[in-house]
Structure 1
Amino acid sequence: MFQTMEQCTDFIFKLKASQSKGEPLQSAKIILDALGNPEQKTKFIHFAGSNGKGSTLNATREIFMEHGLTVGAFISPHLERANERVTINKQQISDEDFLRIANELAEVIENKLDGKFPSFFEFVTLLALKYFSEQQLDIALLETGIGGRLDSTNVVTPEVSVITTISLEHTDMLGETYAEIAAEKAGIIKLGKPVVVGVKNAEALAVIRQTAAQLHAPIYTLGEHFHVENQKGTYFDYRGNVMIEEIELAMAGEHQMANAALAITAAKLYLASFNAQKVRLALQHAKWEGRFERVRPNIILDGAHNSEGTTALINTLKETAPQHKVKFVYAALQDKDHGVSINLMDDVASEMHFTQISLPRAATAKQLYEQSAHPNKFMHSDWQELIEKEMNHLAEDELLVITGSLYFIAEVRSYFAERGWIS
């Protein structure tokens, strides 16, 4: 069906969930069954959460790799090409393997589902599961797309589940309260399998505890069963049933220390042989593109796509650059509650700039602009023109912080890379 990668990705990027695909996960299970159930041939750790799941997955991967494991990872979104979503020891799936498995999936979909393709995310999830089953992996790490219970990644039974944080996000799909959203995320918890939790909201945490109890799943909660202590700059101590002192992180911010602590706990639950020094070495180079990424001394990219992420971004700015004035450039999708995030930025910004990206679900610059009460707010339809203009007029005591949707951050990174401004 697909002759080239360009033809393949052009097609799958346009996929929407079919209106007649049946019960949630039904089409995924039909396809997996036809493929010989590849999801049963790999061991997994499953990550869900409103924020931090990508950074936590990445830190876990670095710890496993430092221990000599071969580690698959499925992440989203990608920043430049779809292959980034499926990796082994950080090496992207080849175009040949991507195309081969995509064609195998397309044939099954034609024969078993009358050509009714699942969504893009479901398709690439299935591709990743098939690819991982063909490789000699020690473990594969899966990041959910949205939610957990009905997410296409939730066809696996993981060795460990990880739930990072809960925010009021995707309320049209996941529910309008912390409890409802937590119930969806807690859907990744499996019978008798441990779950590592970084959630602080009491309402959400109560739901996760209840789900774990019902499934007899041992629960390990940040602040109760393991702790982040003695934070100094990018250093912290981890205390659980093992103590690791003076861990240095490649990424700034207290939220990254929490993510690292979740990763350490998940890794320790899986590893038969756990080495504290290897953990230290791993976390020194656990970077995650598009998360408080300093592309120039006074330009930062951060995919803070909800209020919790924005709070973490602002706290990190206060920790790392307390004397600087901050100019925000913000673009986002419509399916988020932007009001809280914008108000948080309004409180600390010297200027607010709102722009937009060319996606069907994108909010317009005007829609975002109207939610800001900042005295120095501006809207721009062309984000490239805006960023170049602002880059050329930054004073020494100013920071340009480009934030919002990870899809926006991906476009900006690609734009910077084309001009040699970022490697």
Structure 2
Amino acid sequence: MAKLTYEKLIEQLNQQMLAANTDRVALLRRVLDNLGHPEQHYRVMHLAGTNGKGSTGTMLAQTLINAGYQIGHFASPALNDAKEQIVINNKMINGDEFVDTYKRIVSQLPSDITPNDISVFEWFVLIMLQYFADQQVDWAIIEAGLGGLNDATNAISAPLITIFTHIDYDHMNILGKTIAEIATNKAQIIKSDTTVFVAPNQHDEAIKRIDDTYQKHHGSELILTSKLAANQETLFNGTRVDIKLGETVVRDVYFNLIGDAQLDNLATVVAVYNWLLKHEMVVGNDSLIKMMRDIQIPGRFQILERQPLVILDGAHNVDGASRLTETLINLRPNGKFIFILGFLKDKEYQKMARIYDQMATEIIAVSPDNHQRALTTNEIEKLFTKPTQQAVNAQVALRQARQLADEKTIIVVTGSFYLVKELENGWHENSK
């Protein structure tokens, strides 16, 4: 019998998206019951939100690694390899470990649950929880997928810390049509005896719904994060930040990420860090400051090249698009912007297109590498009033943009994580 490889396993897993199904969390909890709840063997931070989970989770993970902890981090979507979703101290799970953990879980499934009853995302969640226990991590930083209430990660026991990054409109067909409905869904990850952190710049209705759920579930403490003082440098070289929050006081520290959204994410990280200081889980500020100086996050205002300036950003909803363009205008008020754009059909692409159309000098349309969900280049071109070209893929689009660019041009690649992923995989070849 041929060995079961990681690639063969992924092919045979149930590829359905079951995020809207109301019975999934209960099913996964039964599996975790049989496994002896591996997530209870380490401390957990559980994150939910529309935008900012990846950046906040990455910053928290790196800060705790700097403090000497063994850190598991679960995040989606992956940019290049699905196994990137499961990492320990920045090293992703390998194929053999993934398969071995899968087999172990299969051997302990309840008798009425088969492997095919569990979707591929749910398998990643289960394998992550068990793998982190097997590897004896100290902390697991677990980012929710879409939700929420029915998100597979909500099957875990009560985490020590629950974090809400910025909540806005996305996945409305699943989460609800209003901020109140979306926030109510996401707030269902709150469990008893957990400390809840809420990122700054939230809609009032989101804060209200989080607070209502927190009160209902008798959380340990609710902390609303304050904004940080910062002076953004003008050459796209990062940010200078002053921090004063409780025991955490640092002056004029360089922060390697750019934009107001990242400052909000950092503010949340600082609030959590201050709580950890208070509870003697970290000592001093060195691990936080080192993270701020060194942090790099692919696909989040990522500068690929500087002549011309090429920025890659995974903004894929209206809130993300708005915050991206605000950052660009703040940093280069008189800039000339060429946007390489691709959208998925199930996103609010018309609203995003209007945002980019207002500031673009030129647009290059690319169909993201997800043929079932992607808009065609013809469909994308029709969304814009500004001059628009089409490109067969992201690499060709970047070559076209370079030909159009001058010394004042900023090339921005955005609209879909699939487009970001495609360019992240191949842009090096275009720079040769």
2:261 corresponds in structure 1 to: 255
**Residues 262, 86 of structure 1: alpha-carbon distance in 2 compared, 3 angstrom cutoff:** same
The CA deviation string for residues 212-239 of structure 1, in whole angstroms up to 9 with x for no partner, is: 22223211112xxx33124343012223
Where does residue 375 of structure 1 map in the other structure?
386
State the alpha-carbon separation in 1 of the partners of residues 194 and 81 from structure 2.
34
Q: Distance in 2 between matches of 1:390 and 1:294?
A: 15
CA distance in 2, matches of 1:281, 1:153: 30
1:73 matches 2:78 = no
SS class of match (1:188)? coil
| Alpha-carbon spacing, 1:20–1:216, altered in 2? closer, same or farther (3 Å) | closer
Counterpart for residue 141 of structure 2 = 141
Tell me by how many angstroms 1:111 deviates.
4.8
Equivalent position amino acid for 1:276 in 2: N
> Which region of structure 1 is more displaced relative to structure 2, 69-78 or 361-370?
361-370
In structure 2, what is the Cα distance between the partners aligned to 1:175 and 1:330? 26
| CA deviation after TM superposition for structure 1 residue 256, in Å | 0.8
Name the residue aligned to 2:209: 207
Match of 1:240 among 239, 245, 256: 245
The one-letter code of the counterpart of 1:54 is G
For residues 221 and 270 of structure 1, the distance between their equivalents in structure 2, rounded to whole angstroms, comes to 16
2:373: which partner in 1? 361
SS at match of 1:353: strand
Contact 2:256 2:292 in 1 (8 A): yes
2:296 paired with 1:290: no
Shift of 1:18: 6.5
| 1:399 to 1:5, Cα distance in 2 relative to 1, 3 A | same
Deviations 1:105-153 (A, max 9, x none): 4455695413433222111011100100112211110011101221111
The letter for the 1-side match of 2:79 is L
Q: Deviations over 1:41-97 (max 9, x none)?
A: 221101111111100011111211121111110011111112211111111112221
* Higher mean C-alpha deviation, range 105-114 or range 44-53: 105-114
Q: Is the 8 A contact 1:17 1:117 kept in 2?
A: no
After TM superposition, list the pairs within 5 Å mapping 1:119-158 onto structure 2: 119-156=119-156, 157-158=158-159
- Separation (CA, whole Å) in 2 of partners of 1:365 and 1:110: 47
Alignment partners' CA distance in 2, 1:110 and 1:366? 49
> Cα gap change, 1:17/1:351 in structure 2, threshold over 3 Å: closer, same or farther?
closer
- Show structure 1 runs of 4+ deviating over 4 A: 17-22, 106-111
Change (3 A) 1:229 1:19: closer
After TM superposition, the structure 1 stretch with the greater mean CA deviation from structure 2, 71-80 or 261-270, is 261-270
Q: Distance in 2 between matches of 1:323 and 1:177?
A: 35
Structure 1 match to 2:172: 171
The answer to whether the Cα contact below 8 Å between 1:330 and 1:402 also exists between their aligned partners in 2 is: yes
Q: Does the 8 A contact of 1:314 with 1:345 survive in 2?
A: yes
State the one-letter code of the partner of 1:264: V
- The alpha-carbon deviation at position 289 of structure 1 amounts to 0.5
Bigger drift between 312-321 and 341-350 goes to 312-321
- Tell me which residue corresponds to 1:270: 276
Q: Which residue of 2 aligns with 1:408?
A: 419
User: d(CA) in 2 for partners of 1:397 and 1:235?
Assistant: 24
Cα distance in 2 for partners of 1:207, 1:194 equals 16
Which digits, 9 at most, give the CA deviation of each residue in 1:304-340, with x for residues without a partner? 1111111221122123333431111111222211222
Give the 3 Å change call, closer, same or farther, for CA 369–209 of structure 1 in structure 2.
farther
2:43–2:139: 8 Å Cα contact kept in structure 1?
Answer: yes
Greater mean alpha carbon deviation, residues 170-179 or residues 302-311: 302-311
Query: For 1:366-398, what per-residue CA distance to the aligned partner results, in whole angstroms no more than 9, with x for missing partners?
Result: 3333333x2313344544433322234422211
Residue type at the aligned position of 1:302: D
- Residue in 2 that maps onto 1:228: 228
Secondary structure in structure 2 of the residue aligned to 1:204:
helix
Unaligned stretches of 5+ in structure 1? none
Cα distance change, pair 412–246 in 1 and its aligned pair in 2 (3 A): same
Mapped to 2, the partners of 1:20 and 1:334 lie a distance apart of 18
**Residue 325 of structure 2 aligns to a residue in which SS?**
helix
**8 Å Cα contact 1:160/1:269 also seen in 2:** no
> Aligned equivalents of 1:65 and 1:149: distance in 2?
30
What is the identity percentage for the equivalent residue pairs of Structure 1 and Structure 2? 27
The residue aligned with 1:329 is 340
TM-score if structure 2 supplies the norm length? 0.90
Distance 1:245 1:211 in 2: 36
Helix, strand or coil at the partner of 1:251: coil
The answer to whether the Cα contact below 8 Å between 2:30 and 2:110 also exists between their aligned partners in 1 is no
Q: 1:2 to 1:38 in 2, by over 3 A?
A: farther
- Does structure 2 conserve the Cα–Cα contact (< 8 Å) formed by 1:110 and 1:116? no
The 8 Å contact of residues 190 and 213 in structure 2, kept in 1 or not, is answered as yes
Task: Give the secondary structure class of the aligned counterpart of 1:257.
Answer: helix
Cα distance in 2 for residues equivalent to 1:398 and 1:80: 28
More displaced stretch, 178-187 vs 153-162: 153-162
Task: Determine helix, strand or coil for the equivalent of 1:172.
Answer: helix
Partner of 1:303: 314
Aligned 8 A contact 1:9 1:82 in 2: no
User: Which deviates further from its counterpart, 168-177 or 335-344?
Assistant: 335-344
User: 1:193 deviation in Å?
Assistant: 1.2
Task: In structure 2, give the amino acid aligned to 1:146.
Answer: L
Secondary structure class of the residue paired with 2:116: coil
